[in-house]
């Protein structure tokens, strides 16, 4: 658990001492645990791989392409063609799904036995499937 601290001394432009704002004691500065978890160690010659869930999307073209794909997938489809989403059901790529919160979507990928990616109007969502079977 990280507590709030105030830096009270600097050495060579880096924090050296800190004061705990909870108990008012002073100690040598150390990086908070939450900051250490964010930094992955660097390995010489190995490029870092960004986490797609936390990396912001830099291109709006992919969002536009996804929206176009979604519109083409559901265009002119009857309500009877959409399977209501249920966590216990099993789905296949290309199947149309109607989700209570996200609306109409199309299954674009079955990642594992119990996960699938569904493209909705506001973007792709990772949903569970075949739970409790």
Structure-block tokens of residue 100: 């209570």
Q: Tell whether pTM > 0.75.
A: no
130 and 89 Cβ atoms separated by less than 8 Å:
yes
Containing H/E element for 83?
strand 83-84
- Give per-residue pLDDT as tens, 54-63: 555 544 457 7
Q: Is 95 exposed, middle or buried (0-12, 13-18, 19+ CB in 10 A)?
A: middle
- Give per-residue pLDDT as tens, 26-53: 989 887 776 655 555 666 666 655 555 5
Helix (H, G, I), strand (E, B) or coil at 39: coil
- Give per-residue pLDDT as tens, 11-30: 888 889 989 888 888 989 88
Q: How far, in Å, CA of 57 to CA of 63, rounded?
A: 9
82 and 102 Cβ atoms separated by less than 8 Å:
no
């Amino acid at each position: 658990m990280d507590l709030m601290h105030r830096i009270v001394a600097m050495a060579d432009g880096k924090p050296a001492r800190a004061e705990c704002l909870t108990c008012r004691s002073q100690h040598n500065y150390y990086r908070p645990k939450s900051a250490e978890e964010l930094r992955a160690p660097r390995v010489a010659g190995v490029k870092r791989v960004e986490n797609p869930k936390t990396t912001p999307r830099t291109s709006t073209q992919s969002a536009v392409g996804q929206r176009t794909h979604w519109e083409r997938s559901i265009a002119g489809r009857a309500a009877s063609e959409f399977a209501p989403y249920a966590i216990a059901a099993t789905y296949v790529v290309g199947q149309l799904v109607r989700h209570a919160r996200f609306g109409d979507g199309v299954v674009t990928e079955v990642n594992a036995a119990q996960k699938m990616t569904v493209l909705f109007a506001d973007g792709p969502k990772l949903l569970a499937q075949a739970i409790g079977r």
